Structure formats: C-alpha cells, structure tokens
Amino acid sequence: MYIPEHFRETDPAEIAAIMEGAPLAVVVYQGPDGLAAHHLPLMAGPDGRLMGHIALANDMHRELADGAEVLVILRGVDGYISPNSYPSKRDHHRHVPTWNYQAVHITANVAFVHDTPSKHRAVALLTRLHERQVNPDAPWKMADAPPDYVADMLGKIVALTLTPTRVLAKSKLSQNRDAPDAQGAVDDLAQRDQGALAAKMQAKLQARPSGG
Amino acid sequence: MYIPEHFRETDPAEIAAIMEGAPLAVVVYQGPDGLAAHHLPLMAGPDGRLMGHIALANDMHRELADGAEVLVILRGVDGYISPNSYPSKRDHHRHVPTWNYQAVHITANVAFVHDTPSKHRAVALLTRLHERQVNPDAPWKMADAPPDYVADMLGKIVALTLTPTRVLAKSKLSQNRDAPDAQGAVDDLAQRDQGALAAKMQAKLQARPSGG
C-alpha cells in the first residue's frame, strides 16, 4: 500500500478502531490458479492474532500449508472528496479531487484449526462480538441451537488463525489540506450521508497540533 | 473467491451495479516484497476495460511490467445476519449466524499510461462520474483549475488500464434461506441503518421464481 508519510497511521488505538469497524476482511494469497481472495469476518484475539473460520468446501485450507503467508486487508470508511468542498478553491482554484479512506494491511502466517473445541470457540467469540452490537438485549448464543445441529455445522467449517508479521495502516483523511479546507470537506460529507467518514476526518482535524 | 452455486452472481447488470457501487477498488498483485495491494478509484469504460490512476510516487508502476496480472476486488454492501432475524428460528432453532455481502473479483492485465492526454482523459472521466453524484448542479471540472496547475498535477500521476481476463461475482444475500426467514433478515437490517444491504436482499427475494 502506497503511504505518504502524512497519511501513515501509527496510533495503535486508531488501527484497532479501523479493524473493528471493518470486520469483513479480505484475505489474499497466491493460489495454484493465481491470486485468490476470500471475504471473511475476522476478529483480533487478546494475543494479537486474528481468528475466523471458512467453509470446509472453501479450497483455501487445501491450497495453503500451515505457516503460509497471506495478506489481510481491512478497509474502513471511504468517500470522494470534491475540490468544491474547499473554501480556498474559490480563491485560487488550485485543487483536484481525491478519495479519502482508512485501511489496514496485515501480512500474516495462516494456520488452520480442525479440532471441534477450537472451532466452537471461534464461532462463539465471533458471534458474541456481533450479537452484542445487533441484539444487545437478547443476543443469539450457540447454546440456542440443538447440540446435534451445532455439531453438524462445526463439521462443515475450518477455523483459522492469522499471526501478523507486518502491519501497515493508512488514514487518508485530508491531513494534507489547510484546516479550513479540511473542515469544508467534513461539512460537505456530513450533509451527504457520509457521517462516518466525516467523523473520522473531524477527529484528525481536532488532533492537529494547531487544534484544527 | 469461494462461491457456492446459489450465491454465484451471473447477471451482467447486477455485476455492473456492484462495481458502480464500489468505486474504490483494491488492486492486488505479487510484488517484489510479497503481496501488495492498493486502493484506487476505478471506472469501467465502454470497452469493458477499467481505468484509473495512481501517484507517480506509488511503486506499483515500477514493480509491474505492462501486461502483468493483477486481481481487482470490488466489494459492495455487507453485514452480519443474526439467527434471531429468522422467524423459523423460534420453531426449530436450527440456524447459525452468517455474513452477507456482494463482491466482484476481476483478474486483469495492467497497462500503465504515461502520456499527458490519456492521463487528462482518465482524470476527467473519473471526475465527471463522481461530480455528477455529489455536485449535480455545479460539478467541479478540470477546466476550473489553472492550466499550469493541471499540468503540474498530471505530471505527478500515472494512468492505468486494466483489461479483464476473468470475472467472478458473488451475491451472498440470503438466497439459501426460506422466503419468510430472508424477509425477516431484510426487515431487521432495514431497522438497523443497513438499508442498502436490505434493499439488495429484498431485490433477490422479489426475483425468486415463487415471487418471494
């Protein structure tokens, strides 16, 4: 990922926030038929490893040996930025459009996990994470389903862990624009139903040494 | 990408819609230091090729020879689906969570374009596409900027075209659920500020032979 220094994201809390906001990761690797990519929900464990699961029918676990290298891509909010949003555009017109976004790229070594207790744990942890968000008052739990059904379902998946070897993160959020221009972009996005991106840009603006 | 048959997307109009809804593509390739990925706005031209541009400072155009293979990933809406959304869950509890999404993967041969008229055209077409959406009444145009500034900016980018050799598309939108359960998932998403995903799922539901 091309990262100019002013867009390099080095704040561990912000990197974690990008990852939490983009749970459906893209996992890429060099497969037998060329580049392969799969979309799967991942979550970071307390040890820094990522965990998730794939269908048994997904060839990924047959195409990769344990320890093989994959690239995990987690992308947060994104949106087009028009030069019209910058107040200074009216003065000198020296602006071009761009695209703002946040992304985390993690190079990692994959390991597949076939034992039932580990698979049960991976599904339970992922479920708990997401049920808390969508059904905080009455979350679905694996124990809601009959044991024979759960055993059948676990038999149809493979869990995986991803051990990071390198993390690159980028927050391209108008840090290279004067504060009034960055604020103009924030305001326009907020009016265009792009509130999540606007909030990320506003936070970067507030964090400037000048106070924005 | 792992694609069970019931999730394979073969409708050219829907594939085009996924691509239009996900203009910030991820372009992946095998680089000298391992797997590399960049995020860049792409658009499909009338000839089926994709076009875009990168910064001159982005090593991608130095790391790849013309004709090299890349994987372009365009992902649409996505969201967690809770078993609690399915009415039949209350009858038999034989459901597990899943994640819905749409994605298009395009294997393509890249070519970099360094001449100024082609770069100007790439920026103009991308700008027109996105300005129509955000500033339909008063779109920013390249001609708004002074010629010396435009020439300077074009000198700092490289345009690229991507010629597809293979397209894979997936619409994972609850087609494998009974209609009442799929409708329950749609209704829950619509209430959770996930209207875009709900609309895609509703369209698939309406398109069922039974009429939903």
**Total count of domains within chain A:** 1
Residue B95 maps to a domain: yes
**Is pLDDT of A94 > 70?**
yes
Its pTM stands at 0.96
Contact A2 B57 (CB under 8 A): yes
Which residues, numbered 27 to 86 in chain B, qualify as contacts with chain A under a Cβ-Cβ cut-off of 8 Å?
28-30, 34-41, 54-55, 57-60, 69-71, 73, 75, 78, 80, 82-84
Nearest CA in chain B to A42: B99
The model's pLDDT over B107-162, given as tens digits with 9 standing for 90+, comes to 999 999 999 999 999 999 999 999 999 999 999 999 999 999 999 999 999 999 99
Under an 8 A CB cutoff, do B192 and A134 touch? Answer: yes
Q: How confident is the model at residue A209 (pLDDT cuts 50, 70, 90)?
A: confident
Range of the domain at A100: 5-175
Do B154 and B115 meet the contact criterion of CB atoms below 8 Å apart? no
What gap in Å lies between CA B89 and CA B98, rounded to an integer?
A: 14
Summarize the confidence of residues A35-49 as an average pLDDT: 95
What percentage of chain B exceeds 70 in pLDDT? 99
Note whether residue A198 is domain-resident.
no
Residue B126 within any structural domain of the chain:
yes
Is residue B212 assigned to a domain?
A: no
What's chain B's average pLDDT?
96
Looking at this predicted complex, what is its ipTM?
0.95
In a domain? residue B205: no
Q: Give Cα A121 to chain centroid, integer Å.
A: 22
Please tell me if residue A127 touches chain B, with a CB cutoff of 8 Å. yes
Instruction: For residue A133, give the CATH number of its domain.
Output: 2.30.110.10
Indicate the residue type of A181.
Answer: D
Average pLDDT, chain A: 96
pLDDT tens for residues A184-203? 999 999 999 899 999 999 99
Question: Looking at the domain assignment, is residue B181 inside a domain?
Answer: no
Sign (positive or negative) of CA dihedral A75, B53, B166, B169: positive
Which residue in the set A29, A38, A127 is minimally distant from B97, CB to CB? Answer: A127
Q: Kindly state whether residue B210 falls inside one of the protein's structural domains.
A: no
**Contact flag B133-A30 (C-beta cutoff 8 Å):** no
Q: Is A94 on the interface with B (CB under 8 A)?
A: yes
Residue-wise pLDDT tens digits, B90-114: 899 999 999 999 999 999 999 999 9
Query: Is B190 within the bounds of a domain?
Result: no
